[in-house]
Amino acid sequence: MNGKRITVLLLLTAIFVGTLQLPPLAGDFTANTNEFNHIDPGMFTAYFDSENISITLITPANQSTLVGTVNITIDVVSDYDPLNLTLFVEDEIYEDLNRTEISVGLQNVTIDTLNLPEGSLNFTFLFENASFGAIDRESYPLVFEVDNHGYPSVEILAPDEDELFTGLDSLYLNISADYTEVYLNITINGVPTEEWNGSQLVPVGAANYTINGSRYENGDNLVDVVVVTEEGLSDEAEAIISFLDHVRFSIIGITNFGEVSGEQEITIRVFTPYDSVNLTVSVDGDVADDVSNITVPEGRSDFTMDTTGYSEGEHEFLFTAYDGFGHSWSQNLTFIVNNHREPSISFTAPTQDIIVGLAEFTVNIETTYSEVFLSVYVDGNAVDVLTNITAPAGAYAFNLDTTLYTKWQHEVKVVVTTVEGLSAEAASPFGFANFKIEEILSAIVLIGIALSIPLMRFKRGESVRMTLIVDVIFILVVVGIFLALGVTSLPLMIWHINLASIWAIGTTLVATNWLVPLFTTATEQ
């Protein structure tokens, strides 16, 4: 009997001790540990709704903004006292509230949000009874906006409006932010700089930020500075800053592919913070002797360059200006050297339209060269002995044998060409008047026959006085006819006398000499 009592007593003791053991909450965890880290906090919101635990949020309101260290005031109503509180923030246990004991009534739950990420976060408060007995839990979800970091600010401290940004120079910026570092983006005329393009973190505070100003045009440029925090908040500052490189210049008055000649005057405008710079000009890679390391002042000025030593046509002119500190600026232009213009030529002799025999022609050649190449053409055909001969500038005479051509009007053309291929020509029609062999033979035969008639009569002792008188009259009549036709020179006479006219005049003279004696003899009888 005593044994049965002892057995029952042991069983009751075991049951009583077992009821005092708390079952694990999805695993074994203790206060101030991270053993909830692998638990989905959503289960607490979805499943833990205790009739013995009631939570009311007093301040701040749900979905409000939290900054820095804040107190969340809640009213805890429960049959249990105290309770254990575990806070989950975005699925992670908040280390300082891990099964932390809390009493019922109005309670302040202190949270340091500086250790939390920025933005809208889910806060889940899990309450459970801390006393021995059956486990009882309550989930209380809230949403708060964590905003510990305000907008950054940036200010351009230097250069001032009246200062110049020269070469490799710096912007002096003052950056303020809740973060220790921000992203810096500097653009010039809307184009990000190579040095600060938004990918680099820079510390907050006042500092110099160097930019190579030589990449940008001289004059006013819009400089825009933007700083961005890690959470994407930004601030912007901009200024119009006047850039002036160590050495810049522009060539004025002559454009690319412009013409230069002789002692060419070139206007240059130099932009520099110094009083003057040095200038060198290279032509096709060779330094020009007269423009080598010459000094040109700041601003607008002129210098001369001798182009007569260069061949005609396109040449590459490289202008390089530099200061005494190793800074330089270059500009390449293509100029057309044109020291020699097109030549011109004109006839000065002969002045008459009809020429005979070996005629002399004189032309006047105007050119900037001392000599040219001359060719003569008759009716478009080159004269062999007058092709591509060298002729000096000015008056030039040459002879043309007109007997090689028919008695007719011919075009004589003279072409002159310079060594660079520029040419000019002069053309004029001329009448070539020359006796042909058949005309000469015909004239000799007819004159011989005409003279033989009176000569034979004279040998026979007959009178030839009347025949000679008629011959003189005949010759005077023929000459008068030519003069009436305007034939006043030998070339004109040769031009108008041809084979037909020779035979007409000759046969008339022969007939006259033959018939005159017959009429004279008949009259005397």
**What is the secondary structure of 298-320 as a DSSP string?**
SEEEEEEEE-TTS-SEEEEEEEE
Question: Fold identical between 19-146 and 344-432?
Answer: yes
Average of per-residue pLDDT across 509-519 = 73
When the candidates are 2.40.110.10, 3.40.50.300, 2.60.40.10, 1.10.10.410, the CATH number that belongs to 153-243 is: 2.60.40.10
- The rounded distance, in Å, linking the Cα atoms of 337 and 331 is 18
pLDDT at residue number 446 = 75
- Overall average pLDDT of the 15-37 stretch: 39
Q: What is the mean pLDDT of residues 57-69?
A: 93
Where residue 20 falls among pLDDT bands split at 50, 70, 90? very low
Query: What are the tokens at 521?
Result: 């003899």
Q: 177-235 pLDDT, tens per residue?
A: 988 999 999 999 999 999 999 999 999 999 999 998 888 888 899 999 999 988 788 99
CA dihedral of 24, 28, 29, 30, whole degrees rounded to 10: 80
pLDDT higher than threshold 80 for residue 81: yes
pLDDT at 519 over 70: no
Quick check: 85 pLDDT over 90? Answer: yes
Exposure string of 174-186, with b = 16+ CB inside 10 Å and e = fewer, is: ebbbebeebbbbb
Q: What pLDDT band is residue 148 in, cutting at 50, 70 and 90?
A: confident
Q: Determine how β-strand 328-337 pairs with β-strand 65-66.
A: unpaired
> Tokens in use for 49?
């709704």
**Per-residue tokens: 228:** 């961005």
CA angle, residues 366, 389, 363, in degrees to nearest 5: 35
Cβ neighbours of residue 210 closer than 8 Å, sequence gap 6 or more = 168, 169, 170, 195
Model pLDDT, residue 476: 77
State which of 70-79, 160-169, 214-223 shows the largest mean pLDDT.
70-79
Mean pLDDT of the chain: 84
Distances (CA, A) of 287 to 218, 278, 292, 319, 417: 27, 14, 7, 10, 32
What does the pLDDT read at residue 74?
Answer: 96
Phi, then psi, of 280 in degrees rounded to 5: -135, 140
Looking at residue 468, its pLDDT comes to: 75
Percentage of residues in the chain with pLDDT exceeding 90?
53
Does 272-337 carry CATH code 2.60.40? Answer: yes
Q: Give the pLDDT band (50/70/90) at residue 46.
A: very low
Domain coordinates of the chain in residue numbers? Answer: 19-146, 153-243, 272-337, 344-432, 437-524
Highest mean pLDDT among 129-133, 148-152, 243-247, 288-292: 288-292
264: how many CB neighbours lie within 10 A of its CB?
18
Q: Quick check: 93 pLDDT over 60?
A: yes
Residue 277 to residue 325: CA distance in whole angstroms: 10
Instruction: Quote the pLDDT of residue 16.
Output: 46
Element (H, E) at 192: strand 191-203
Taking domain 344-432, whether its CATH number is 3.40.50.10860 is answered by no
* Residues in contact with 271: Cβ distance below 8 Å, sequence separation at least 6, in sequence order: 218, 244, 245, 247, 248, 249, 250, 298
525 pLDDT exceeds 70?
Answer: no
| Residue 118: band (very low, low, confident or very high) from pLDDT cuts 50, 70, 90 | confident
Average pLDDT over residues 352-378: 92
pLDDT at 488: 66
**What is this structure's pTM?**
0.44
Q: Please indicate whether residue 520 or residue 456 has the higher confidence score (pLDDT).
A: 456
What does the pLDDT average to over 463-474?
75
Reported as a pLDDT band with limits 50, 70 and 90, residue 266 is: very high
d(CA 363, CA 396): 5
- What is the full DSSP assignment across 265-303? EEEEEEE-SSSEEEEEEEETTEE-GGGSSEEEESEEEEE
What's the CATH architecture for 19-146? Answer: Sandwich (2.60)
The pLDDT of residue 513 is 75
Instruction: In whole angstroms, give the CA distance from residue 185 to residue 235.
Output: 11
In one letter, which amino acid is 52? N
Q: Nearest 5°: phi and psi at 30?
A: -125, 170
Determine the straight-line distance between the first and last CA of the chain, rounded to whole angstroms.
Answer: 226
Residue 107 is predicted with a pLDDT of 95
Cα distance between residue 147 and residue 375, in whole Å: 96
